[in-house]
């Protein structure tokens, strides 16, 4: 059973979610955490991956490693997003199965739901329509991972593979690069730099009307631990993971302007695309198991901005 003495491998421990898991697990008293940098272990290489599993024999795996990025990155390098994520998933899944890992946690993406999906998006809506074209390569790899979890469980008659689909994660150690980040972290950096430069206005893409749901990284980590502990109660399906509350991009921009201290005018370039109008998950299946998010959005935003200032100034 998953407990503080379990041997746990955190794949991708330096990223947004992996670092949150490392932080939350350590705070809960989990001592046997195994980590490797990408330089020390290339999970796209099957031989390296097998040698690692053979030597370390982890009991539990949180698979946070992978290539992620924003709209620009996904549109520019779709083959890289597809190939690298598929390779990591294929190697880690197979080694987890071969070396009798008790449970592996895989993280899907809300971009695997149809672009024009009924809201909020329930697990039953998955693969019922065409996905957003701009994230096709990344989404295809994530779809393969979700199907992979269900396939391994079905073929080997166990509940080894657990799959969750979190909505947009934010928090400490996020990627704030303007070319490769998501909307939350990109706006934090843009407003911070506009305030620092003394700008009197800032122009953002679209109309500001699309709505997005955000969940703090520590909440995702806490939910992940909860699911590991309750793996025997889970069905062979993916579980949505969100807060149940979404915000318009306009509201998000106003909140970020306030926390960064930017007092200039926010303008909207309506010639630029808005993207999907709404992405809200129905997380009732997971919540019915007894877990609840605990981090208030404004508190999470303030924590994230404090971290950003310390590490990016």
State the catalytic residues.
138
Instruction: Compute the CA torsion angle 219, 221, 225, 227 (nearest 10 deg).
Output: 70
d(CA 19, CA 25): 10
The values of phi and psi at residue 265, to 5°, are -85, 140
Neighbours of 292 (CB within 10 A): 13
Q: What's the token pair of residue 229?
A: 């502990």
Pairing state between β 211-216 and 33-34: unpaired
Neighbours of 4 (CB within 10 A): 11
Burial of 274 (0-12, 13-18, 19+ CB in 10 A): middle
């Amino acid at each position: 059973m998953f407990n503080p003495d379990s041997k746990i491998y955190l794949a991708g421990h330096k990223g947004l979610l992996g670092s949150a898991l490392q932080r939350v697990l350590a705070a809960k008293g989990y001592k046997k955490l195994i980590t490797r940098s990408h330089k020390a272990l290339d999970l796209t290489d099957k031989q390296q991956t097998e040698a690692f599993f053979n030597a370390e024999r982890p009991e539990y795996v949180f698979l946070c490693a992978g290539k992620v990025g924003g709209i620009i990155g996904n549109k520019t390098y779709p083959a890289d997003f597809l190939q690298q994520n598929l390779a990591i998933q294929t190697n880690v899944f197979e080694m987890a199965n071969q070396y009798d890992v008790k449970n592996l946690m895989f993280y899907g993406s809300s971009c695997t739901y149809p672009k024009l999906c009924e809201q909020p998006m329930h697990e039953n809506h998955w693969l019922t329509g065409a996905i957003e074209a701009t994230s096709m390569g990344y989404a295809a790899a994530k779809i393969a991972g979700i199907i992979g979890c269900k396939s391994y469980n079905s073929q080997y008659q166990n509940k080894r593979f657990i799959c969750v689909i979190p909505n947009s994660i934010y928090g400490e150690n996020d990627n704030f690069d303007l070319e490769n980040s998501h909307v939350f972290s990109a706006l934090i950096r843009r407003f911070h730099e506009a305030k620092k430069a003394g700008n009197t206005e800032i122009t953002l893409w679209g109309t500001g009307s699309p709505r997005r749901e955000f969940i703090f990284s520590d909440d995702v980590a806490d939910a992940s631990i909860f699911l590991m502990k309750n793996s025997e109660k889970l069905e062979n399906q993916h579980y949505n993971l969100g807060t149940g509350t979404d915000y318009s991009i306009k509201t998000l921009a106003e909140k970020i302007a306030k926390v960064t201290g930017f007092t200039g005018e926010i303008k909207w370039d309506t010639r630029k695309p808005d993207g999907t109008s709404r992405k809200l998950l129905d997380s009732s299946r997971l919540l019915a198991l007894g877990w609840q998010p605990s981090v208030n959005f404004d508190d999470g935003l303030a924590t994230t901005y404090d971290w950003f200032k310390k590490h990016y100034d």
